Structure 1
């Protein structure tokens, strides 16, 4: 008989490379690559919807800083003892490069930044959100590899062939594994569920599903974003259940806080999808509140330097319709 083939996923011995005096961190590199991918995909989708090239990059100037701040705030709020507990240094809450970004804080404040950018450019927010949503899934898939570099956010012990090796120094200080113990008891050579990899693969699969559903059913008016939220939270719920990392807001009625967040957001997105489908079937005919100025304007277009308001937008300027759009 052939000996059992033991396969594992090794973790990087070091997640930081020094190029002269400049440290290059794997976590930060994954986040940056994810942002670049989201902007690139979003730009192509925005132009396909009838938007102008460069709009997404302009909106990103608003959305990215807001998103990073929101992601950090969410992480610190759910893990506050790590920064404000006894013997901890609150200043380390600002050390984003060490890891610790909560996706839902990033999506929430990132959306606020995008909305402000849309208002400043005369862009309708909902079609922009639909254009950006699939790219955000790809960004999250890439960003999750930052957890691999930091040896964090892994799952329960497993003997599956793709178990993840984690250095003992990165084991959690306390956890509820085995169940009810309150402490972590691992044997030497223990491998863990690579939840970062599970989420990466789930996000890429969700990206394909969202794109297919959008094309098959001509989704618009924010429904692509709603499908993104439903698809992501559906996977995040079961992946989160596998994790054993330290989280201060870990158990709420027997479930981790992030599992409850996923449940609530899934329900909210599903409700929005149904309501939006009834009120606004199909897709928007225009992605701008005010038509962009043509590069070579003619007298019929309103003259040089003038922007023309599209008739359909004039009809949507009533308070009731504006609330539906935003």
Structure 2
């Protein structure tokens, strides 16, 4: 009989406050957004000064809406369209679960585009800030997936395989932890290291490309160990929906990296708030 690690059966609900239940999954979103916000503020304090503190504070509301609306819409369209076409009101039942990272990414990108246009901020430098912060939310989100016992891996006999409550009696890969490590921890430090290189920061768009390609490669690789959603199953050639959605990210990321590396670096201008402080006083 092979040794199997017992799944730490943690209650998905962190605490009950009367009729209100605070879930680990909700807490992961909150912590990820708040930590990403603080990280963006720290990055923006260094050249090329993509945004002011006030602008980043305002963007967090836009980003939160982009994540929730985009993530839910992506799940409906990519993973369970037939069901929601028959039960359209259930699209609003977000507490039942069902979010797509790829949809959430599109939602945040669209929210970012509308935000920078409304604030007259340079798009690519600002998007680089968001890209560097995104793995923080991914890290906590995948940990929450693990606590919930969802998005588990395929059947395996590796020594660290676990029997998940929703996954039947056979041990499986803890693929949520693989994703947390690669999409969250590793990708965060790769982007953090590159951000510290002035030549990279002076080429806005490169870090966004690194995030897209890095996430796409990590997700496509881990899909080899992750059990596909039951309503989708395997696609042609034994591929999965996650791999098909990640392929354009890899291609697009590489294109952005090559394109922006070939462009001339931007000058390191003064901070926007310093420009305001140094502006001439009095009327013209």
Shorter-normalised TM range: 0.7 to 0.9
Matches within 5 A, 1:179-258: 188=169, 190-202=170-182, 203-216=184-197, 218-219=199-200, 220-246=203-229, 248-254=231-237, 255-258=239-242
How far apart, CA to CA, are the structure 2 residues paired with 1:126 and 1:305?
A: 34
Q: Please tell me whether the aligned partners of residues 35 and 139 of structure 1 are also in contact (alpha carbons under 8 angstroms).
A: yes
Please state how far the C-alpha of 1:34 moved relative to its aligned partner: 1.0
Report if the CA contact (8 A) 2:4-2:160 is conserved. no
- C-alpha distance in structure 1 between counterparts of 2:31 and 2:70, whole Å: 19
Quick one: which of 115, 121, 125 aligns to 2:119? 121
How far 1:162 sits from its partner (Å)? 2.4
Give the length in aligned residue pairs.
277
Aligned mates of 1:69, 1:287 — CA distance in 2 = 36
Quote how far apart the aligned CAs of 1:127 are.
Answer: 0.7
Tell whether the 8 Å contact from 1:7 to 1:163 is kept in structure 2 after alignment: yes
Query: Unmatched 5+ residue regions in structure 1?
Result: 172-185, 307-326
Instruction: Please state which structure has a larger fraction of its residues in helix.
Output: 2
Is 1:145–1:196's contact at 8 Å kept on the other side of the alignment? Answer: yes
Structure number with greater Rg is: 1
1:10-49 maps to which residues of 2 (within 5 A)? 10-15=8-13, 17-49=15-47
- CA drift of 1:243 comes to 1.9
RMSD: 2.7
CA distance in 1 between counterparts of 2:20 and 2:30 reads: 16
Over 3 Å counting, the alpha-carbon distance change for 1:229 and 1:129 in structure 2 is same
Residue 92 of structure 1 corresponds to 90
Q: 1:311 maps to what in 2?
A: none
Q: CA deviation at 1:294?
A: 5.9
Tell me how far apart the structure 2 counterparts of residues 287 and 11 of structure 1 sit (CA, whole Å).
Answer: 52
- The answer as to 2:102 corresponding to 1:104 is yes
1:284 CA drift (Å)? 5.1
1:279 is paired with a residue whose SS is coil
Distance in 2 of aligned mates of 1:90 and 1:233: 30
Q: 1:242-321 maps to which residues of 2 (within 5 A)?
A: 242-246=225-229, 248-254=231-237, 255-280=239-264, 282-283=265-266, 285-286=268-269, 291=272, 301-303=279-281
Q: Secondary structure at the match of 2:16?
A: strand
Q: CA deviation at 1:90?
A: 3.0
* Deviation (angstroms), 1:41: 0.8
